A and B are shown apart, each in its own frame.
Chain A
């Protein structure tokens, strides 16, 4: 028997919807699987008193953004480029010429 195009559509959408719903089920499963590792990491962070993620180790204000010098502009030296978004979106203070 040849399927009608609408039956194909129901089949394809049913499949796509099942995959979509499966992503939520998989998320719950992965949360369960990774919970012990997460708890161990949180326990290590608590034991060592860690305050930051080790994502960016290149400078102290990226390694420990929460502990940096109040995110002061030009905190490394006067010619250092700003690393924070404010540097690229904030205009110069009034009365100051661009370099």
Chain B
């Protein structure tokens, strides 16, 4: 065992000395390799964390939401719907929700107005999201005015600003009372935007949705599971777009690595020839070259991955934010909580380290089995 270890150490000593002879070339390769791992790791760490965050914060969103559709478009829930839903077996609670959008021309951003069912602010007051407070320079006690749908100016006193830590879901929210909401949007009495339902037995959610669709054919039930799936696919898609954009860089690296790994330079061939001539065995030459490729690829992986982790979770993923998060005037500030999937890291390792090792092996083996004299003469 000790002699085996000593032999490997000598091989590594020799490999490093050989790498040092082509310092600029190998450092360049390490840098490009590390950069590629960094970009791929950052994209996958970021989207995975964002997907998990969405699943976690939306875990207790309404079990079923019922929309009414008119000619394929979302329409208001007319009076009488809530009573009809109450008669569907399995529905524990049905609540009409009031929410809508308002375009604020001052900062050119859309707000989401909503009426909270509990802890609603007092009439004439509003609770706003932290991103609105930031973009309009508002604090509790200030007044904000919007042009209502009837054309009149409506003023709200800011009762509170929602916690900055919850910006991911509340950045653009304006919470007002039902009375203020209806008068601001000129909303017809007795109508609702949609209905939130809770179901007594979680196993029955799908059955209840089917019953609702049968009882109210113009309605569209949206299950919590579907909401969570929507988010999973949105971030899968964004990760895909990111990887598609990077595909040119990946391809460029693949060509570089292939060229470096598969086409041995004349100098390298001569080196192999000399080693064979002074008594190295084919196996030793292959081991030495595998150590070379292994050291470069493993170091590139460790550096690239670690840098990606720090960039995503400690520097806010500033490099990929625009592509992965989307863009908006009111952009929530949030810090992602790291959730690292072991399989994801293993997949990244497999696809970045192994192809390089495989590409190295064949030409080395070819050169190593050739007669030293022939190798040195080529």
Contact = CB atoms under 8 A, between A and B. Distances in A.
Given A26-B338, A54-B173, A54-B332, A48 B16 contact: no
B166 A55 contact: no
19 contacts: A6-B10, A9-B12, A13-B299, A23-B306, A26-B338, A43-B60, A44-B166, A44-B169, A46-B61, A47-B118, A50-B58, A50-B169, A52-B58, A54-B171, A55-B168, A57-B111, A57-B330, A69-B69, A75-B73
A97 to B, nearest CB: 24
A91 interface: no
Interface stretch (B222-230, B259-267, B355-363): B222-230
Contact of B172 (A8, A12, A41, A54): A54
A16 B237 contact: no
Interface of B: 9-10, 12-13, 16-17, 20, 53-54, 56-62, 65, 67, 69, 72-74, 95, 97, 101, 109-112, 114, 116-119, 129, 131, 162-163, 165-173, 175, 194, 196, 220, 222, 226-227, 230-231, 234, 237, 240-241, 295, 298-299, 302-303, 305-306, 309-310, 313, 325-332, 335, 337-340
A27 interface: yes
A72 B74 CA distance: 11
A41 B336 CA distance: 13
A35 B222 CA distance: 28
A99 B221 CA distance: 35
A41 B165 contact: yes
A19 interface: yes
Contacts of B310: 23
Interface SS of chain B: mixed
Contacts of A69: 69, 72-74
Contacts of A20: 302, 305-306
Contacts of A13: 295, 298-299, 302
B226 A54 contact: no
Contacts, number: 190
Specify the main secondary structure of chain A where it touches its partner. Answer: helix
A27 B168 contact: no
Interface string A27-57: 1001100110110111111111111111111
Contact of B168 (A35, A49, A53, A63): A53
Given A23-B306, A23-B309, 10 more contacts: A13-B299, A16-B306, A31-B337, A41-B169, A54-B129, A54-B330, A55-B326, A55-B331, A63-B101, A67-B65
Nearest to A47: B118
Given A51-B65, A57-B172, A57-B328, A40 B12 contact: no
Top 9 closest A-B pairs, CB basis? Answer: A46-B60, A27-B338, A5-B16, A16-B302, A37-B165, A54-B171, A6-B12, A66-B227, A41-B166
A31 B336 CA distance: 9
Contact of B166 (A12, A16, A40, A59): A40
Contacts of B227: 51-52, 66
B16 to A, nearest CB: 4
Given A31-B338, A51-B58, A67 B67 contact: yes
A81 interface: no
Contacts of A16: 299, 302-303, 306
Given A20-B305, A30-B337, A30-B338, A50 B168 contact: no
A70 B305 CA distance: 39
Contacts of B175: 48
